[in-house]
Chain A
Amino acid sequence: MRFGLVLSEVGQGLRRNASMVVSIVLVTFISLTFVGAAILLQLQINQMKGYWYDRAQVAVYLCTEYVEGGNCNEIEATTEQKANIEQQLEAPPLAPLISQYDFEDHDQAFARYQEQFGTEATGFVTPDFLPETFWVNLKDPSQSDVLVERLSSVAGVDEVVDQRKYLQPIFDALNAASFTAIGIAGLMLIAAVLLIATTIRLSAFSRRRELGIMRLVGASNRFIQTPFVLEGVVAALIGSALASGAIVAIVHFFVQGYLNATPSATPFVDIGDAFIVVPILIVGGAGLAAVSAAVAIRRYLRV
């Protein structure tokens, strides 16, 4: 009985303010789509970090007779020097940080070079041109500084390079995109909240006679408040459902259908990630609408 009454009030309110309700739907739709995109970008960044940091190694390049500066002076690293470096990698303080390391000699480096760039590009390159390298995998990739500091000045080492530094600009760009999306989403959400509050006030104003009588005959605050809160929540829910649809569509058609089809080793977010975002959008949108509607209607409940 009471439930039916509340629902019919909600229906009346939505019909009476149709144009405002449509604008709430659109604004929540757009703002929550941006929120969803920002979350997806963060998921993408985390996924790429996980993927690449596992593969990113620290390269300890040794001297060749073609390298002039640093510790080298155009002298190939000697066997003793290599043994010394290897000994450092095996003993504390470096050993506890390292999960494994490999030594790559001139021929292996040349083979890898050929594999990467093809045989026609290798005409000018001979194996002794490519440095011998210790490839080090760290237990914690963020601790590469210790290795760099420790080994850079050792005799026979040309350069110690953390491959992660090549990835950092990509992550920075993705982070910037994600923060931009969050910024836009924030502004749009503020607009959505204000719009919901205004709509609810308008709705309450057009029903002020009923509200006055309800208060007079002793309808409880919750009973008076509920239809208005539901009105906001229903409008916002439609918006969040559209936003969820947009997010799923973006992942399905753009990320999986287009980006994933291009050859690249990078892993992309999938539909599973989109379905993590969907409940966040639905609950977030409904919650935001409920709070702003409840605050907006409070003035009419003052006894």
Chain B
Amino acid sequence: MIRFDQVTKLYSGNTRPALNSVTLEILRGEFVFLVGASGSGKSSFLRLVLKEESPSKGQIHVLGQNLSRLTSRKVPYFRRNLGVVFQDFRLLPQKSVFDNVAFSLQVIGKSKGFIQEAVPDVLKMVGLAGKTGRLPHELSGGEQQRVAIARAIVNKPSILLADEPTGNLDPTTSAGIMTLLNRISAGGTTVIMATHDAGIVDQMKRRVVELVSGQIVRDERQGGYQTQALPVQQQAPPPTSSGFGVGR
């Protein structure tokens, strides 16, 4: 589904890579948490999957396509298979709930009939059936995030990327969002979620990938926010043989 092969991402003007030789495979239908401190490379990972960025080194395959071979003209069509949700919802403030979701279908050329059927369905699924005519500012944060999720999944993508979707929400609302994401995952969609929310990760018991300074330090099935397993000890480099003339 998603395969990273020795992927390094260097941003210009920064000597420290955002991702450093990351190798990772995510299978169809998996639910994966990406955890790590701010700046550890979680967002870069998601941006690379979306092909908003290209890797400096290494190969990325998503949905059987080698992203480095994807021409920029084909990127939009590739993205139609991916749904994305952000911490800040990114809804259009002057459009109603229905129109926000419909917009994402209109701009990829779906027919009016399809939109009239698909949008109410997906709004019902995320639990907003009675609020289709509201404007985003009339909704609570949790409801706004549900609209964003509805927009991301209305086209039935195979992969859902969520960048700290509960970052702006209180614990109870977050739990509701997680139930929703769980349901989406149960439907066969691969979900990758970057988060700082330890409670959620511990509760869900799903695959956890931890990044520190752009490197994967843990990849654990049914893991928690902090590892329960023994920490991996990195072997100390062997002492250099002492001698003259080799020291720097």
Residues of A bordering B, CB below 8 Å:
1-2, 5, 209-210, 212-221, 223-224, 302-303
Contacts and interface: CB of A to CB of B under 8 A. Distances in A.
Given A218-B108, A223-B107, A303 B80 contact: no
B90 A217 contact: no
Given A1-B112, A220-B76, A209 B90 contact: yes
A210 B106 CA distance: 12
Given A1-B111, A2-B109, A223-B109, A218 B92 contact: no
A213 B104 contact: yes
B76 A218 contact: yes
Given A209-B90, A209-B92, A217 B112 contact: no
Nearest to A224: B107
Interface of B: 50-52, 72-73, 75-80, 82, 84, 90, 92-93, 103-104, 106-109, 111-112, 151, 155
10 contacts: A1-B111, A5-B107, A210-B92, A218-B77, A220-B109, A221-B72, A221-B73, A223-B107, A223-B109, A303-B51
A218 B80 contact: yes
Nearest to A9: B107
Contact of A217 (B51, B75, B107): B107
Contacts of A213: 90, 92, 103-104, 107, 151
Contacts of A220: 76-77, 108-109
A217 B92 contact: no
Contact of B108 (A209, A210, A217, A221): A217
Contact of B79 (A216, A223, A224, A302): A216
Contacts of A212: 90
B92 to A, nearest CB: 6
A214 B107 contact: yes
A209 B73 CA distance: 21
A218 B109 contact: no
A285 B82 CA distance: 40
Contacts of B79: 215-218
Interface of A, helix, strand, loop or mixed by DSSP: helix
A216 B108 contact: no
A74 to B, nearest CB: 88
Contact of A219 (B73, B78, B107): B107
Contacts of B103: 210, 213
A111 B70 CA distance: 87
B72 A217 contact: no
Contacts of A215: 76, 79
A180 B108 CA distance: 49
Contacts of B108: 217-220, 223
A220 B78 CA distance: 10
Contacts of A209: 90, 92-93
Contacts of B84: 216
B77 A217 contact: no
Given A216-B79, A223-B109, 10 more contacts: A210-B92, A210-B103, A213-B107, A216-B84, A217-B80, A218-B77, A218-B79, A220-B108, A302-B72, A303-B76
A155 B56 CA distance: 90
B159 to A, nearest CB: 12
Nearest to B70: A303
A1 B76 contact: no
Contacts of A303: 51-52, 72, 75-76
B3 to A, nearest CB: 21
Contacts of B52: 303
A216 B105 CA distance: 12
Of all A-B residue pairs in the complex, the 10 with the closest CB atoms, nearest first, are: A218-B79, A218-B80, A219-B107, A217-B104, A303-B75, A218-B76, A220-B76, A214-B107, A303-B72, A2-B109
Contacts of B80: 217-218
A218 B77 CA distance: 6
Contacts of B106: 1-2, 5
A177 to B, nearest CB: 48
B111 A219 contact: no
A210 B92 CA distance: 7
Contacts of A210: 92, 103
Contacts of A302: 72
